[in-house]
Structure formats: structure tokens, C-alpha cells
């Protein structure tokens, strides 16, 4: 899902006299956040597409991308993790970089400032694995210590704290091998194969037998040795070293794969499923990749590439038409896979163009995602801006403001709010926008070619509204 976790594909690296494992840029991999994706190609290039409301695609803009955009502003990336609306990058030198929403400090740069291009996470070195949750982030160092930052209201950072952390902290956890960052919870896999949990537990997502939150790591009982853990919003999966899968948590759509829709408070074996090499979980669906290159799915059918609206698929079923799959991941309501010939496929929700297609908002079968040979999108830059109309504006008001950026090839403005009398008063721009009424959540204007854009507010002889605020501009150079 919002991932909560990155792919974990390793290479050997000598660092500070320790053997560190990190992902190889030569191995294609894909990760999904809530409604966006990142892909590392075999040539080391990195692409992103889908929802970009908070700049999580790292292309310097907030434009939704309906095709894969090649990033040129970060190099040396060997692994990626995608979260709710932020992403993490692991570089070959063991440093971590971050981009996107930062309202809980999940970027780890010491601020709460949203970033539209990657910034370095402070104080980290020798990192081998990274994980991005909804509002928190994790990293495993080459000495096996777990580092965490961002939201900690439910104890999801595992340090016993409860206060958000703007920079990474050493949780004190050692022998960490794998982890998964969920909504407000975390799962941890140790080198001895044991699974530990901490954070929110409102839906039994921690597998501790109850719904009581845990702020320090608690070991799960009744599990064999594990090789991977995966945590979604409200349910979790764990892959054994023998290739079988355990599941627990909420089960309204059969996302646990146990044949019913009953919540499980303890880890429960998924029946009739073996030979699994990787698991992934979306909001209400789950996936498994098998040794023969096939994919299995269970949970809400419309997220699985299966015809159906919201029916529950309560046991694992084959994802038809896909074979020779080398890796895969699950977003909130969509899924992505790469086959051995390095073709990329997707199915499920497409409302944010996370399937890189503009013809439909959902696909009930796998479609190929193309466009990886396209040139990088024009560099887009974002800046804060401070412009407001009179509040309230007077009757019979008419005024125009010009917003400019020297040297820009195109420009647009972001209204943090608009409130004018519907059908009588208007906020218009020279880009062809015509806003009337209330936009309390804000809105973007259209793009306009050139280095400036005009914004005009006009009113009639009566006033019912306060005006507008502009808090940001975007432009290309």
C-alpha cells in the first residue's frame, strides 16, 4: 500500500569494515505508494507516475503524471520506498533522501516543509534498507539498528516515545532484518526470523491477540521463521522461509485469504498457498508472487484485476494473463508488476493515473504500462507566494493582479482558498480559469505559456464572500 515498504533486493558492499547489503540498480524493481509508483530500471534510471499532490513524484511539481516521468534530479539511487504522499531514496553511498509531504516530519530533514525535489535525510549513513509509511519512515543500518522518524502518535516509531520526530532517531532495536511501515503501525523482522510489532492496533493489525496499541516492540507468538513482513492499513502478511503465508487483522473483503470475512487477532496460516517468494498488501487486497512467476491475489475483486465491483475474494486466486513476473507491489487500490522481459503491468484503480492510462478510471485486467522511453518532463519549480484580495472585498469591485517569474516558460498559481458569491462574483485568470463560489480546499489555475499570469476579481452590487488567497506558484524554465 502506501508503502509502507520498499523492495528488498541486495548486493554486497564493504562499508566501515562491515558487510552491508543494498539493492542493485541493475535489478528492475517497482514500489507503490497510495496512488503513485516508482520504478528502477535495469539501466539505473528511475521513473515515477500517478498522484503528485504533495510533490511525491520528485519532479519538482504537483502535476499528476499519466505516464512514467524520468527523474534527472537524483542519481546513484539503488532503492526506493513509497509512502502515503512521500517517498524515500537510498543511494549507493548509504545516504537516504526524501521528497513529498512532510507534515509529521516524515522526510527527516528537521523541518515540516513539504519538498518537491529530493532532500537529504539528516544524520543517516550506512543504510541498507528503507521503508515509508503513511506519515512515518524507517531505515535499517548496516549494523542491524533500526532508525525511525516522522509521526509517532501511536508509538509507530518503536522508541517508546509518542512525539513526532523531525530527524531520525536510533530506536534501540538491534538485529533488524526487514520491516514494514503501515498507517500508524510498524512490523519488524529480526535476523532470527522472529516478528515484532508496535503502534496502533485498532483493527488487530499488530496480531497481538487484542486491539490495544503497543508503543514498544512486542514479539508475535505462534509464528515459524519468517523472511518478509508486510503491513497495510488494517491487515498484515508475513512470508515464512518455507514459502507459506500468514495473515491477520481486518478482513471485510477477504484480504486475509482464509476463506471468510472474519477479523483475525492472531497470525493465521493462509490455506492452499505455497511456493511464495514475495507478498504485498494494498488497503483491502493482498498479493503473492510464486516461484513459477505467477501472481495470486485475494481481497476486494475490483483491486485484483478480476471483474467485479466490491465482491470479496476470500481465497487466493490466480491473476490471469500475467506470467514470468519478477517482482510486484500493491498500492492503495491498485497493483503493479514487472515481468522478466522488463515490461510493466498494472491493474485496479486508475483515478490518479497510477496505471499510466487516460482512457479509464479502473482496469479489471492487467494492462501494460508504457512510455519509459519518453524524454524527462520539463523541469517544474514551485515557490511559496503571498497574495490576497481584500477581505471582504467591496461591492462593484474590479481589480487585476499580475504574478510573474522572470525567465519562466509557463506558469500557474495555487489558490489556497476562494470564496466569492456564486454566479455573481468571479475570480478569473488569463489562463482561462473562471472560478465562482467557494473553494475552501483550494485549487490550481490552468497553466499559461509565458512568464506571468493575471488574476482578476470582479463583484456586482452585493457581496457574499471574502475573496481569495494565493499561496504558491509553479513554473517551468
Contact in structure between 405 and 411 (CB atoms under 8 Å): yes
**321 and 467 share a domain?**
no
Among residues 96, 117, 121, 89, which one has the least CA distance to residue 107? 121
- 334/129 Cα distance (integer angstroms): 24
Neighbours of 145 (CB within 10 A): 16
Contact in structure between 61 and 73 (CB atoms under 8 Å): no
**431 and 356 share a domain?**
no
Question: Last residue of a domain, which of 369, 397, 421?
Answer: 369
Q: Is residue 161 part of a domain?
A: yes
Q: Is residue 178 part of a domain?
A: yes
**249 and 345 share a domain?**
yes
Torsion of CA 306, 307, 308, 313, to 10 degrees: -30
Domain CATH for 123: 2.130.10.30
**295 and 415 share a domain?**
no
**21 and 147 share a domain?**
yes
Distance of CA 406 to the CA centre of its chain: 34
146-150, strands of its sheet edge to edge: 127-132, 136-141, 146-150, 165-170
**265 and 349 share a domain?**
yes
**189 and 235 share a domain?**
yes
Task: Give the count of domains, the chain.
Answer: 2
**313 and 401 share a domain?**
no
- 404/383 Cα distance (integer angstroms): 12
Q: Is residue 224 part of a domain?
A: yes
At 376 the pLDDT is 67
Q: Is residue 2 part of a domain?
A: no
Question: Last residue of a domain, which of 369, 392, 420?
Answer: 369
Start-to-end CA distance of the chain, whole Å, equals: 34
**448 and 393 share a domain?**
yes
Question: Last residue of a domain, which of 338, 369, 400?
Answer: 369
**The domain containing residue 437 runs over which residues?**
380-476
pLDDT tens sequence for the chain (477 residues) = 554 444 333 333 333 333 333 334 457 899 999 999 999 998 889 999 999 999 999 999 998 999 999 999 999 999 999 999 999 999 999 999 999 999 999 999 999 999 999 999 999 999 999 999 999 999 999 999 999 999 999 999 998 878 999 999 999 999 999 999 999 999 999 999 999 999 999 999 999 999 999 999 999 998 999 999 999 999 999 999 999 999 999 999 999 999 999 999 999 999 999 999 999 999 999 999 999 999 999 999 889 877 655 689 999 999 988 999 999 999 999 999 999 999 999 999 999 999 999 888 889 889 999 988 766 666 778 899 999 999 999 999 999 999 999 999 899 999 999 999 999 999 999 999 999 999 988 889 998 999 999 999 999 998 889 999 999 999 987
- 30/46 Cα distance (integer angstroms): 10
| DSSP bridge pairs for 264 | 249
**155 and 225 share a domain?**
yes
Q: Is residue 428 part of a domain?
A: yes
Among residues 211, 282, 272, which one has the least CA distance to residue 35? 282
The values of phi and psi at residue 370, to 5°, are: -120, -175
Domain CATH for 468: 2.60.120.290
Q: Is residue 5 part of a domain?
A: no
**264 and 306 share a domain?**
yes
Q: Is residue 374 part of a domain?
A: no
Among residues 335, 334, 268, which one has the least CA distance to residue 295? 335
At 375 the pLDDT is 60
Contact in structure between 44 and 71 (CB atoms under 8 Å): no
* Dihedral sign (CA 169, 36, 326, 273): positive
**264 and 198 share a domain?**
yes
Please tell me the number of Cα atoms within 13 Å of 268 on its side-chain side: 22
Contact in structure between 166 and 148 (CB atoms under 8 Å): no
pLDDT digits (tens, 9 = 90+) for 86-142: 999 999 999 999 999 999 999 999 999 999 999 999 999 999 999 999 999 999 999
pTM: 0.79
Q: Is residue 4 part of a domain?
A: no
- C-alpha cell of residue 308: 467485479
At 441 the pLDDT is 81
Amino acid at each position: 500500500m502506501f508503502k509502507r515498504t520498499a523492495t528488498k533486493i541486495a548486493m554486497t558492499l564493504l562499508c566501515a569494515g562491515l558487510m552491508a547489503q543494498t539493492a542493485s540498480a541493475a535489478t528492475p524493481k517497482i514500489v507503490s505508494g497510495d496512488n503513485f509508483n516508482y520504478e528502477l530500471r535495469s539501466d539505473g534510471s528511475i521513473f515515477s507516475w500517478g498522484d503528485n499532490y504533495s510533490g511525491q513524484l520528485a519532479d519538482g511539481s504537483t502535476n499528476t503524471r499519466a505516464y512514467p516521468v524520468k527523474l534527472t534530479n537524483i542519481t546513484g539511487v539503488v532503492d526506493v520506498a513509497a509512502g502515503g504522499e512521500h517517498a524515500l531514496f537510498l543511494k549507493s553511498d548509504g545516504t537516504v533522501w526524501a521528497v513529498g509531504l512532510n507534515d509529521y516530519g516524515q522526510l527527516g530533514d528537521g523541518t515540516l516543509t513539504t519538498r518537491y525535489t529530493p532532500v537529504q535525510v539528516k544524520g543517516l549513513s550506512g543504510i541498507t534498507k528503507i521503508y515509508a509509511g503513511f506519515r512515518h519512515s524507517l531505515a535499517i543500518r548496516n549494523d542491524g539498528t533500526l532508525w525511525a522518524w516522522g509521526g509517532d502518535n501511536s508509538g509507530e516509531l518503536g522508541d517508546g516515545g509518542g512525539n513526532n520526530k523531525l530527524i531520525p532517531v536510533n530506536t534501540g532495536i538491534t538485529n533488524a532484518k526487514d520491516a514494514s511501515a503501515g498507517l500508524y503501525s510498524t512490523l519488524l523482522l529480526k535476523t532470527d526470523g522472529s516478528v515484532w510489532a508496535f503502534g496502533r492496533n485498532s483493527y488487530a493489525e499488530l496480531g497481538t491477540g487484542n486491539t490495544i496499541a503497543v508503543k514498544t516492540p512486542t514479539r508475535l507468538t505462534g509464528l515459524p521463521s519468517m523472511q518478509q513482513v508486510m503491513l497495510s492499513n488494517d491487515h498484515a502478511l508475513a512470508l515464512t522461509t518455507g514459502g507459506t503465508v500468514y495473515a491477520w487483522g481486518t478482513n471485510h473483503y477477504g484480504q486475509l485469504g482464509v476463506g471468510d470475512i472474519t477479523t483475525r487477532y492472531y497470525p493465521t496460516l493462509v490455506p492452499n498457498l505455497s511456493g511464495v517468494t514475495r507478498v504485498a498488501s494494498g488497503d483491502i487486497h493482498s498479493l503473492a508472487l510464486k516461484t513459477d512467476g505467477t501472481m495470486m491475489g485475494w481481497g476486494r475483486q475490483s483491486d485484483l484485476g478480476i471483474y467485479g465491483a466490491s465482491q470479496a475474494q476470500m481465497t487466493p486466486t490466480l491473476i490471469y494473463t500475467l506470467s514470468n513476473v519478477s517482482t510486484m507491489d500493491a498500492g492503495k487500490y491498485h497493483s503493479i508488476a514487472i515481468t522478466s522481459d522488463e515490461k510493466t503491468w498494472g491493474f485496479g484503480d486508475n483515478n490518479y493515473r497510477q496505471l499510466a492510462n487516460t482512457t479509464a478510471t479502473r482496469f479489471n485486467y492487467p494492462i501494460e504500462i508504457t512510455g519509459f522511453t519518453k524524454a524527462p518532463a520539463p523541469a517544474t519549480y514551485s515557490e511559496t507566494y503571498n497574495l490576497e484580495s481584500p477581505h471582504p472585498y467591496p461591492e462593484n469591485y474590479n481589480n487585476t493582479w499580475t504574478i510573474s517569474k522572470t525567465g519562466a516558460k509557463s506558469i500557474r498559481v495555487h489558490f489556497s482558498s476562494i470564496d466569492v458569491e456564486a454566479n455573481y462574483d468571479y475570480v478569473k485568470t488569463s489562463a482561462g480559469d473562471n472560478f465562482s463560489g467557494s473553494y475552501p480546499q483550494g485549487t490550481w489555475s490552468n497553466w499559461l505559456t509565458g512568464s506571468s499570469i493575471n488574476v482578476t476579481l470582479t463583484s456586482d452590487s452585493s457581496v457574499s464572500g471574502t475573496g481569495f488567497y494565493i499561496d504558491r506558484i509553479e513554473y517551468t524554465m
